[in-house]
Copies of this chain bind each other. A is one copy, B any other.
Amino acid sequence: MSGPERRDSGDRGKSTAEKPRLDRQRILEAGAEFIEQFGPRHLTMRRLGTELGVEAMSLYRYIPSRENLLDGIVEVVIDELYKDPEVYPEPRHGWQDYLLRLAHGLRRLALAHPQVFPLIATRPTEAPWVRPPLRSLRWVESFLKALTSAGFSDQAAVDAYRAFSSFLLGHLLLEVAALGADVGPVDDVEPRPPRSTDLDDYPLLQRLQERLSEDRSEQEFEESLESLLDRLETLQA
């Protein structure tokens, strides 16, 4: 601990100008990965630092605060929606097809990132009228364009956006929570011991416990989605 050498500097030889080891994107990606592994509660600046082979304070050159870090992580993850080839940013086969693809894309996203999704769902958005989980301006614009140009009135398009948002939020949040994700973003929590609850006073729960534990997310999602689309149809011009 006394020698003058600053770091063993990894690569041998001269020092092939290996550019900044850190940049915002790398940090955000590492953060997303970390959260996916350990849950948002365990993401601390120091731990993320060591994950990246760096001291905590080094992160602050690229990221102004932990809050901003979480925002960035959320952004990085939802941006994946653009890379999903099944989801078109513009409708191609009618608005129903567009909404179906969008919904399924978001569901894939949620299932691929169960620990990050609660953050997507619960972090403040960049404007009060932007609602999770479709929380990027680009997608909201895209959504509204799809509907209005399909004959929805302005009001109907807005209503549809809200109905769509709350449907997805409710369904996906519960679905990832059932996967055991830490759903409490600010204050999230450990998996929680199953606590062999005393069901003696609850005969129906006892009888239905097995059914209640079954996973029918897929069907439920499809059915609710279809029913929502049916309902939205009545809003059309």
User: Which residues of A are in contact with B by a Cβ distance under 8 Å?
Assistant: 40-41, 67, 70, 118-119, 121-124, 126-129, 131-132, 137-138, 140-141, 144-145, 148, 154-155, 157-159, 161-163, 165-171, 173-174, 177-178, 180, 182-192, 194-195, 197, 199, 202-205, 207-209, 211-214, 216, 220, 223-224, 227, 231
Q: Give bound CA distance, A216 to B160, whole Å.
A: 12
Given contacts A166-B170, A171-B170, A220-B163, contact A184 B144 (CB under 8 A): no
Across-interface contacts of A207 in B (CB, < 8 A):
154
Across-interface contacts of A188 in B (CB, < 8 A):
122, 185-187
Further 13 A-B residue pairs, CB within 8 A, beyond A148-B204, A170-B171: A67-B189, A129-B209, A131-B174, A137-B205, A144-B208, A154-B207, A157-B208, A162-B216, A166-B170, A167-B167, A185-B185, A186-B187, A227-B227
A144 contacts B40, CB within 8 Å? no
- Kindly identify which residue among B118, B195, B212, B220 contacts A122, using a CB–CB cutoff of 8 Å: B118
Across-interface contacts of A145 in B (CB, < 8 A):
204
A204 contacts B144, CB within 8 Å? yes
Q: How far is the CB of A63 from chain B (nearest CB, A)?
A: 15
Across-interface contacts of A122 in B (CB, < 8 A):
118, 122, 173, 177, 183-185, 188
Across-interface contacts of A227 in B (CB, < 8 A):
227, 231
Across-interface contacts of A124 in B (CB, < 8 A):
177, 183-184, 189, 191-192
CB-CB nearest in chain B for A189 = B124
Across-interface contacts of A169 in B (CB, < 8 A):
169-170, 173-174
B70 contacts A187, CB within 8 Å? yes
- Kindly identify which residue among B171, B213, B223 contacts A129, using a CB–CB cutoff of 8 Å: B213
